[in-house]
Structure 1
Amino acid sequence: MDKGVLLDRLGATGEDRMLLAKVWDRMQQARSRNIPAATDFLSPQQQILTRELLHLAGAAETEYVFLGGYPEAERRLVLFLPDWMEMETAESESPIRCLRASFRAEQSLSHRDFLGSLMGMGIVREKIGDILVGPESADILVLETVEPFLLQSWDSAGRVKLNVTSVPLEYLHIPQVQWEEIRDTVSSLRLDAVVSTGLRMSRGKAAELISGGRVQVNWQECTKPDRAVAEGDTISARGYGKFQLLEAGGITKKGRICIVVKRFI
C-alpha cells in the first residue's frame, strides 16, 4: 500500500502524520538496505498509532521490536530488523544509551528538573526516553546520537551541579514505583466519576478537565466525561497525575459500584 494512502486510511493529520511517515521511512530503510533502522523515542500514545500503522502495512512481527532500555519502559522506540537478524539479538543493535546524572542527596531534583535542563540545552523530547530519578542520581535513557554531546556539555540542572557518566543498560537503576490504593464507590463507571475518585477532586472539576482535553485514557485523549471505563484502564490528567482502575465490581445496597484505584505518587 502507498504511504500516503495508508496515512489517509489511518486518518493521520498534523504531527501524527509526520510521525507515522518517519516510522514508514525507517521500515522501508530496513527492508531496502537490509540494515537495522530505528525510530526516535515514542510516547505510549505514539506507540499505539505506530502499531496500527504496522498492522495495516502488513509488517510481520519478526520485522520489528519495541525497545525502551528496560522491560517496564514507558517511552520506547521501534527497531526494524533486517532479514538476517534474529529477534533475540536485536538489543545488541539498540541505539539506546544510559546516562547517570549524580548529585548531592540533599539537593532534591525531580523528573521535571532533568527534562527541563535537557530541553534547555536544545535536546528535543524525541531523543530522550524514560528519566528514572533516585535520591542521589537519575538514569536518563537517550539516543546514541546525543550521548557524546551530553557527556561533554551537561553539568547542571538548574543550580544543581551534576556529574554525568555513561553506564551500561544492565546497571540501570530502576526506582520502586510509589503508589497508593484508593477504595471508593461510584454511581457509574463514567470517566468523570472515576477521575473524581482517582485524583481526589470534585466530579465537576473532573468533567471540566476532561472536556478541556487534559485527560487521557490508555494514553489517548478523551473529551467525553460520560465515556465508560473498565478494569485495567490507565487514566492521567496533565498536571494532576495518573492512576489505574484495578477493580470494578460489587454493588452496594444503594446501588453504587465498588472500585479500587491504584494512584501513582
Structure 2
Amino acid sequence: MEIYQHFRKEERPFIDQVLSWREDVEMKYQRKLTDFLVPREQMILKAVLGNDADLIHGLYGGTDQVERMRAIIAPEYEVIEEEDYQLTLLEASYPDKFVTLEHRDVLGAFMSLGIRREKLGDLIVRDGTIQIVCASEISDYIRMNLTGVKKATVEFKEKPLEKMLENDETWTTKDTTVSSLRLDVLVKEIYGMSRKKAGMHIDAGHVKVNFRVVEDPSFTLESGDMISLRGKGRSRLDEIHGQTKKEKFKVSTAKLN
C-alpha cells in the first residue's frame, strides 16, 4: 500500500490500526474514540486520514499544550465537542518539604495498578501537586486504588480541566550540522558525548525514540522525533533544513532544560 512508503516499517501495525478505525467508522457510521496517542502517532493518524470527505477527526488532551491526546474519528456530518473526548483531570497533593517525587515515581505508581500507559495523558508533578489527565472510564478506579506514591499518602480528586497546570518545561534550541541523521550521531550532538559512548547507550537500551526503546545506532531520525536518554533527559529533532554543499545535514534540535 502506498501509504506505507512514507513511514517506518515498525509503524505499519499502527497504520493498519488507523485504517481499521477508518473502515469501521465508514461502515457503521459510528464514531471512534481512541486511547491517548503520542505525537508521532497523532501525526500518522492525521496523515492516514488525510482529507477524507466522508470523515472528520480531532485530537484533544485537556489543553493545547499537552503532548498526549485522544483522537475521535467520526462521520463528516457529526460535530465533535471537547467533552466527547471523555477526559478527567485528577489532582492530589503531597508534602514536598518532606517527600521528593519525580515524574517517573508517580507514573510507576500508576503502572503498578495495571493501568496501560495509553489510558493516561499528560502528567505534571511539581510544588507538592500531582495532576494527571486520564481516560474517564478509569478515573474511579484510580481514585479508589492509588493511595500512595513512594512514602507519600495521596488522595486523588476530580478537578475541572480548566484547572490543569500549565506546563513549565523550557527547551533550549540549537541549529547545527551533522554528518548524518543516524541516532548515534544525533545523540552525540545533542548530549555532548563521543559517538562511541552514544552507541554504547543505544546498545544498552538507554535511548528511546518516540517513547520506544531503539537499540540500533543506525536508526534514521526524522523531523519531529522525540528522543530520551536515561539520566540525561529529553530532546527533539525539530526540523531538517536540507544539506550543505559538503552533504552534511542542517538541522534544528531542542533539549529539555
TM score, norm. by length of structure 2: 0.74
CA distance in 2, matches of 1:180, 1:120: 33
- Corresponding letter in the other structure for 1:101: A
Question: Hey, what does 1:139 align to over in structure 2?
Answer: 131
Compared with structure 1, are the counterparts of its residues 211 and 117 closer, same or farther at alpha carbon in structure 2 (3 Å cutoff)? Answer: closer
Q: Does 1:152 align with 2:147?
A: no
Compared with structure 1, are the counterparts of its residues 23 and 262 closer, same or farther at alpha carbon in structure 2 (3 Å cutoff)? Answer: closer
Compared with structure 1, are the counterparts of its residues 170 and 27 closer, same or farther at alpha carbon in structure 2 (3 Å cutoff)? Answer: farther
CA deviations 1:143-186 (Å, max 9, x no partner) are 11101111222211122111201111111112311344678x76
Compared with structure 1, are the counterparts of its residues 222 and 186 closer, same or farther at alpha carbon in structure 2 (3 Å cutoff)? Answer: farther
- What runs of 5+ residues in structure 1 fail to find an aligned partner? 250-255
Question: Hey, what does 1:124 align to over in structure 2?
Answer: 116
CA distance in 2, matches of 1:196, 1:61: 46
Question: Hey, what does 1:237 align to over in structure 2?
Answer: 228
Q: Does 1:59 align with 2:52?
A: yes
Compared with structure 1, are the counterparts of its residues 243 and 152 closer, same or farther at alpha carbon in structure 2 (3 Å cutoff)? Answer: same
How far 1:189 sits from its partner (Å)?
A: 5.4
How far 1:34 sits from its partner (Å)?
A: 3.5
Superposed CA RMSD:
4.0
CA distance in 1, matches of 2:139, 2:111: 14
- Corresponding letter in the other structure for 1:44: P
CA deviations 1:86-116 (Å, max 9, x no partner) are 3xx4313112211112211222211111111
Question: Hey, what does 2:160 align to over in structure 1?
Answer: 168
CA distance in 1, matches of 2:30, 2:250: 52
Question: Hey, what does 1:109 align to over in structure 2?
Answer: 101
- Mapped contact 2:95–2:128 kept (Cα < 8 A): yes
Compared with structure 1, are the counterparts of its residues 171 and 61 closer, same or farther at alpha carbon in structure 2 (3 Å cutoff)? Answer: farther
- Mapped contact 2:40–2:224 kept (Cα < 8 A): no
Compared with structure 1, are the counterparts of its residues 152 and 178 closer, same or farther at alpha carbon in structure 2 (3 Å cutoff)? Answer: same
Question: Hey, what does 1:50 align to over in structure 2?
Answer: 45
**Which of 90, 95, 105 is the matching residue for 2:81?**
90
Matches within 5 A, 1:23-34: 23-34=18-29
Compared with structure 1, are the counterparts of its residues 45 and 186 closer, same or farther at alpha carbon in structure 2 (3 Å cutoff)? Answer: closer
- Corresponding letter in the other structure for 1:157: V
Query: Residue 91 of structure 2 aligns to a residue in which SS?
Result: strand
CA distance in 2, matches of 1:11, 1:245: 16
Comparing 61-70 with 167-176, greater Cα deviation is found at 61-70
Identity rate, percent: 23
- What runs of 5+ residues in structure 2 fail to find an aligned partner? 242-247
Compared with structure 1, are the counterparts of its residues 258 and 52 closer, same or farther at alpha carbon in structure 2 (3 Å cutoff)? Answer: closer
Compared with structure 1, are the counterparts of its residues 16 and 226 closer, same or farther at alpha carbon in structure 2 (3 Å cutoff)? Answer: closer
**Which of 69, 72, 85 is the matching residue for 2:65?**
72
- Mapped contact 1:101–1:164 kept (Cα < 8 A): yes
- How many residues are matched? 247
CA distance in 1, matches of 2:178, 2:42: 33
- Mapped contact 2:225–2:238 kept (Cα < 8 A): no
CA deviations 1:56-115 (Å, max 9, x no partner) are xx73495111222221222122111233323xx431311221111221122221111111
- Corresponding letter in the other structure for 2:96: A
Compared with structure 1, are the counterparts of its residues 103 and 234 closer, same or farther at alpha carbon in structure 2 (3 Å cutoff)? Answer: same
Question: Hey, what does 2:192 align to over in structure 1?
Answer: 200
- Corresponding letter in the other structure for 1:124: R
CA distance in 1, matches of 2:17, 2:252: 40
